């Protein structure tokens, strides 16, 4: 089953080109470690939230942009082995000396994919979500997410992926647990929807919100007030 390492990263907006070069330089390393896909997306439509949001999750500062990024692995064992090797890889240590962002505020965790739908393709736009969900509601959430994924696909999405937290450690400055205001008995969901372009995404969301299947749907089974989301433009998408 696909395993995902999901990242949220604050990057100085002026460092965009430098960041893209930095990310591209890591492609050979991730490929050698068994990753199957590496995606970096740049914040484009990331709203402020009343309780929390993707910008607060990384303590975003003035002049910075939040990025949603992920690595896909064939399974958890491959990901764990990759992380172990990276911790001891001189090339990775060298890259860490000159990062064009504040790595202390980058948050990352491991997630197990529970829903994957859509024909795939090369996305021109991505919607990203981070949600705290009661752990006891995992199967109910998965079933509902699968239904909504089918609707996204119907309305033009290329790929819909929902991931359930497996390894979400506490960080010194920021982390997924505090970003979602996670409570006891909850898990973090990290998800995204890939679209061919922003116009299709905007139209798709309009259709989704007007669809009677959504209007008549039961309560989602999680605290929507603590859901964080945003729209992102891919700046790197490598199938490894």
Predicted confidence (pLDDT) per residue in 106-138, tens digit: 999 999 999 999 999 999 999 999 999 999 999
Q: Are 55 and 11 in contact (CB under 8 A)?
A: no
User: The domain at 3-239 falls in which architecture?
Assistant: 2-Layer Sandwich (3.30)
Q: What is the pLDDT of residues 40-95, one digit of tens each?
A: 999 999 999 999 999 999 999 999 999 999 999 999 999 999 999 988 877 666 66
pLDDT for 96: 66
The strand pair at 3-12 and 107-117 is best described as antiparallel
The mean pLDDT value of the chain amounts to 95
**Higher per-residue confidence, 194 vs 96:** 194
Least confident stretch, 20-29, 89-98, 162-171, 224-233: 89-98
Contacts of 230 (CB under 8 A, 6+ apart): 43, 44, 45, 46, 47, 53, 54, 66, 68, 127, 128
pTM of the full structure: 0.95
Q: What's the pLDDT score for residue 1?
A: 80
Secondary structure string (H, E, C) spanning 153-210: HHCCCCEEEEEEEEECCCCCCCCHHHHCCCCCCEEEEEEEEEECCHHHHHHHHHHHHH
Asked if residues 152 and 114 have their Cβ atoms less than 8 Å apart, the reply is no
Domain spans of the chain? 3-239
């Amino acid at each position: 089953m696909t395993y995902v390492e999901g990242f949220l990263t604050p990057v100085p907006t002026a460092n965009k080109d430098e960041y893209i070069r930095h990310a591209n330089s890591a492609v050979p390393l991730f490929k050698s470690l068994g990753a199957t896909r590496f995606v970096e997306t740049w914040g484009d439509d990331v709203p402020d939230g009343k309780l929390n949001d993707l910008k607060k999750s990384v303590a975003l500062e003035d002049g910075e942009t939040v990025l949603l990024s992920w690595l896909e692995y064939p399974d958890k064992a491959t990901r764990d082995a990759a992380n172990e090797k990276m911790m001891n890889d001189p090339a990775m240590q060298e890259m860490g000396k000159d990062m064009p962002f504040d790595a202390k505020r980058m948050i990352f965790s491991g997630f197990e994919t529970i829903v994957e739908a859509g024909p795939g393709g090369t996305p021109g736009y991505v919607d990203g979500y981070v949600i705290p969900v009661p752990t006891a509601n995992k199967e109910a959430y998965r079933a509902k997410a699968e239904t909504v994924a089918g609707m996204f696909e119907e309305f033009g999405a290329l790929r819909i992926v929902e991931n359930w937290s497996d390894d979400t450690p506490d960080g010194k400055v920021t982390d997924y647990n505090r970003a979602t205001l996670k409570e006891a008995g909850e898990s973090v969901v990290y998800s995204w929807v890939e679209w061919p372009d922003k116009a299709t995404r905007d139209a798709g969301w309009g259709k989704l919100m007007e669809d009677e299947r959504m209007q008549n749907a039961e309560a989602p089974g999680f605290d929507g007030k603590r859901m964080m989301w945003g729209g992102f433009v891919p700046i790197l998408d490598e199938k490894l």
